[in-house]
């Protein structure tokens, strides 16, 4: 694990964006796994700025988003397709047909999950998977439980997840109860996983996920097993692991992403 702690969110956004820029310079046709939510907004802004400065191009990139709400059409302001268009895709040079997000309005959701897995398989391995972290340890919408899925599937959203995401809807009742999400197998097969977490409200779950036991009750704890995990935290999210870092609890205490690609 490579752990980086940043003094403020802007530095973190820039560092995460530059990690992606460096990858695309070396591999312009990289396959990216992308997340939504509050965490990546600043990263997508920094990537947009890098494209405007012509530092990088997404023309040959293929992207696969982690998840989409069941029942929200692409033009719904809280859908993840809408989010991605607003925050990233319409500002960069990625061809729309190379951007993939599950269709939460598919008539047959099981078949849609299978279609998404076939697309993922055809694209080859994800080079870099960008992940945020839910307060309950979810990644994508792989929620805590007695078992986890390897493949893309329909997930029942945890009440805590619906509550956390209510801020993106007019009323809490409008938050869908289900989502299509990539499974742990697809996430895990990525060459590199970039886990980005911000805010003091995530300090406890960061501590649990990175230093606690590996358990399906905290899906992010499985990331401890990934051979190329890069973790980027702001000071708030790192609040509970800092002392452990100095005690060398990690394989490589504080490092940079240099030499990753």
Choose between 39 and 79: whose C-beta lies nearer to ligand F6R.
39
Note if 136 is an active site residue.
Answer: yes
Please tell me the distance from the alpha carbon of residue 253 to that of residue 4, in angstroms, as a whole number: 9
Distances (CA, A) of 37 to 57, 87, 125, 228, 237: 24, 11, 24, 23, 16
Helix (H) or strand (E) holding 29: none
The minimum distance between CB 54 and ligand F6R, in angstroms, equals 28
Are residues 31 and 24 in contact, defined by beta-carbon separation less than 8 angstroms?
no
Interaction pattern, residues 43-82, with ligand F6R; x per rule: CB under 6 A: -----------------------xx---------------
The CB-of-36 to ligand F6R minimum distance in angstroms stands at 4
Indicate if 67 belongs to the active site. Answer: yes
Contact status: 180 vs ligand F6R (CB under 6 A):
no
What residues between 131 and 170 interact with ligand F6R by CB under 6 A?
A: 132-134, 138-141
Between residues 134 and 183, which has the closer beta carbon with respect to ligand F6R? 134
Helices (H), 73-202: 80-87, 109-123, 159-165, 184-188
Question: Catalytic: 75?
Answer: no
| Residue of 13, 138, 153, 158 marked active site | 138
CB contact set of 106 (below 8 Å; sequence gap of 6+): 112
- Which residues from 18-37 bind ligand F6R, rule CB under 6 A? 35-37
- Compute the distance between CA of residue 58 and CA of residue 181 in angstroms, rounded to an integer: 24
- Active site residues per annotation: 67, 136, 138, 143
Please give the residue ranges that form the binding site for ligand F6R (CB under 6 A). Answer: 35-39, 66-67, 132-134, 138-141
């Amino acid at each position: 694990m490579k752990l980086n702690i940043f003094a403020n969110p802007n530095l973190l956004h820039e560092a995460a964006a530059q990690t992606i820029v460096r990858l695309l310079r070396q591999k312009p046709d990289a396959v990216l796994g992308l997340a939504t939510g509050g965490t990546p907004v600043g990263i997508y802004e920094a990537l947009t700025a890098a494209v405007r400065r012509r530092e990088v191009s997404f023309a040959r990139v293929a992207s696969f988003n982690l998840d989409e709400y069941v029942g929200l059409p692409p033009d719904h302001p809280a859908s993840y397709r809408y989010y991605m268009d607003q925050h990233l895709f319409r500002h960069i040079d990625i061809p729309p047909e190379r951007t993939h997000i599950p269709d939460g309005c598919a008539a047959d959701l099981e078949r849609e999950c299978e279609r998404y897995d076939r697309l993922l398989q055809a694209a080859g391995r994800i080079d870099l998977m960008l992940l945020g972290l839910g307060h309950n340890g979810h990644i994508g919408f792989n929620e805590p439980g007695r078992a986890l899925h390897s493949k893309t599937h329909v997930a029942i959203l945890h009440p805590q997840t619906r509550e956390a995401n209510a801020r993106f809807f007019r009323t809490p009742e409008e938050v869908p109860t289900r989502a299509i999400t990539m499974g742990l197998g697809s996430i895990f097969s990525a060459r590199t996983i970039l886990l980005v977490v911000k805010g003091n409200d995530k300090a406890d779950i960061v501590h649990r996920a990175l230093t606690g036991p590996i358990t399906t009750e905290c899906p992010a704890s499985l990331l401890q097993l990934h051979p190329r995990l890069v973790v980027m935290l702001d000071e708030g999210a790192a609040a509970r692991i800092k002392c452990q870092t100095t005690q060398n609890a990690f394989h490589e205490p504080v490092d940079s992403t240099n030499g990753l690609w």
